Amino acid sequence: MPHPIATHCLATSLCMSHLLTGSEDGYVRNYDLWGTCNSKVYLSQPQRQHCGLGDSNIRAGILRFWFDGLRGPANEGSAPSPIYSMAAHSDALWCLAGNAEGSIALHTLRHAPGQVVHVLKGHRKAVSSLALQPDEKGVFSAGWDHIGIVSKANDS
């Protein structure tokens, strides 16, 4: 699955059917991992040459959709902030994307893909790691500002 720019993070659904990638260009890409592994679509010669793969036969990635992670306050009207961390709901209903400006965006995946539902703020620098609690009602985050944050959803 060639990317046009550096990829910083990956996340998958529990069934491994959704593979999410976060990149330097600020976009989240959602690939059909099962379809990619079982398809008969291969990379073209120019694509293989661009990636430095030579004459090998490599299956092409099946991209479901992509969306920008979140445009930070300093980037309003310009390019989205790079995505450095991601976490995905086990059934791929939503995902979290942590960006270079310290925000964590909650996006829908299956219904209205890419829509921002909520933004968590608390880091002053890039969010480098995200992990969901086992019940998926909370998230742990760590950032370049040396702060670790636990966010928990309301039970109401």
Q: Which domain holds residue 17?
A: 7-32+68-152
147 part of a folded domain: yes
- Within a domain: 96: yes
Position 48 scores a pLDDT of 67
127-132/138-143 β-pairing: antiparallel
pLDDT tens digits for range 88-103: 999 999 999 999 989 9
> What pLDDT digit, counting tens, does each position of 116-139 carry?
999 998 899 999 999 999 999 999
Name the band, by pLDDT with cuts 50, 70 and 90, for residue 86. very high
Q: Is residue 105 part of a domain?
A: yes
Token digits of residue 106: 């909650």
Does 55 fall in a domain? no
Q: Give the pLDDT of residue 72.
A: 46
Query: 153 near 137, Cβ under 8 Å?
Result: yes
In terms of DSSP H, where are the helices of the chain? 33-38, 45-51
Is 91 within the bounds of a domain? Answer: yes
pLDDT at 22: 94
DSSP state of 75: G
Here the CATH number for the domain that contains residue 95 is 2.130.10.10
pLDDT at 21 over 90: yes
Residue 104 lies in a domain: yes
CA–CA distances in Å: residue 117 to residues 6, 81, 95, 109, 153: 26, 17, 10, 11, 13
Q: Which residue has the higher pLDDT, 75 or 140?
A: 140
Q: How high is the mean pLDDT of the chain?
A: 83
Does residue 123 lie in a domain region? yes
- pLDDT at residue 76, rounded to an integer: 58
Residue 84 scores a pLDDT above 70: yes
Look at residue 139 in the predicted model and tell me its pLDDT.
93
- pLDDT of residue 59 exceeding 60, the answer is yes
Is 59 a member of any domain?
no
DSSP 8-state code for residue 111: S
Tens digit of each residue's pLDDT (9 = 90 or more) over 69-78: 775 444 456 6
**Structural domain count of the chain:** 1
To the nearest 10°, report the CA torsion of 78, 80, 82, 88.
Answer: 180
